[in-house]
Amino acid sequence: MIEFIKVSKHYKLSSGDYRTILDEISFKFPEHKNIGILGMNGAGKSTLLRLIAGSEPPDSGRIIRTGRFSWPLGFGGGFNNNLSGEENLRFVCRIYNADLHQVLDYVREFSELGGALTEPMRTYSNGMRARLAFGLSLAIEFDVYLIDEVMAVGDPVFRKKSKAAFEARRQTASLILVSHDMRTIRDYSDVIIILNNYELSIFEDVEAGIKVYESLAGVKR
């Protein structure tokens, strides 16, 4: 469960101006549903995900979380590029108090990275990173998985595998997903949340949500 109570978030840009992401928003996210988050470029979708995860505190207001939330799985931070995939995995296991051997076995099987696991992560492609991140977070078993754009990478076989793995977790876990790829959004989401004008609006019907988003995108263009 996650609830925002009067949450505001701003950023100071290097020009000195402020960019507002959320302005005193109170919002209750639907439970046990896969949520697709849509918004224009720069609206702050990734920041919203970081707020949900707790990677970043809000400027004001409160965020109430119950259950285990994953870190935002994305291309950005989270891994040290000079360390190997396996060393990064060890670190993440330790901070989440997860069983190292169990996780390692699962990730080996799921990611199919093979020998690359012991190579420094700077040699990894985006697809390989996503495979490691997915495998790792699936092995740790979160209640809510936060996914930032990375769903669409990788070959069709791996996409299918991820989908099956998340599908298998549906009883116990849900997704909150940011993507520009409407196919991914349709594939995974039960509801749509649109971040626009510093506000969140929810659409129980995915197609209706996508329609609104596309009309917003049309207007902006």
Partner 1 sequence: MSEIFKALAVQARVVYAFILRDMHTRFGRSRLGYFWAVFEPLTGILALALVFSMIDRGSPINVDIHLFFFTGIIPWQLFSRGVSMMSNVIESSAPLLTYPQVKVVDVVIARIILEFSTIFIVCILYLVVLYFWGIFDRVENLLMSITVLMLCIIFGSVFGLVGAVIKLYFPSYMSFQSLLLRVLFFISGAFFVADSLPSAVKDILWYNPVLHLLEWQRSVFFYGFESQFYEPMYPIVCMLCLGFLGLAGERLTRSKLRQLGI
Task: List residues binding partner 1 (CB under 8 A).
Answer: 11-14, 50, 53-56, 69, 71-72, 76-80, 82-83, 87, 90-92, 94-95, 97
Helices 126-140 and 156-168, packing angle to 10 deg:
20
How far apart are CB 11 and partner 1 at their closest, in Å? Answer: 6
How far apart are CB 80 and partner 1 at their closest, in Å? Answer: 7
User: Which residue, 71 or 166, is less far from partner 1 as judged by CB?
Assistant: 71
User: Which residue, 136 or 210, is less far from partner 1 as judged by CB?
Assistant: 136
Task: Report the distance separating Cα 100 and Cα 104, nearest Å.
Answer: 6
How far apart are CB 51 and partner 1 at their closest, in Å? Answer: 10
Residue with tokens 């994305």: 74
Check residue 119 and report its DSSP letter. Answer: S
102 neighbors 135 (Cβ within 8 angstroms) = no
User: Which residue, 30 or 54, is less far from partner 1 as judged by CB?
Assistant: 54
Alpha helices in the chain (DSSP H): 45-53, 85-95, 100-111, 126-140, 156-168, 182-188, 206-220
User: Which residue, 61 or 78, is less far from partner 1 as judged by CB?
Assistant: 78
How far apart are CB 201 and partner 1 at their closest, in Å? Answer: 26
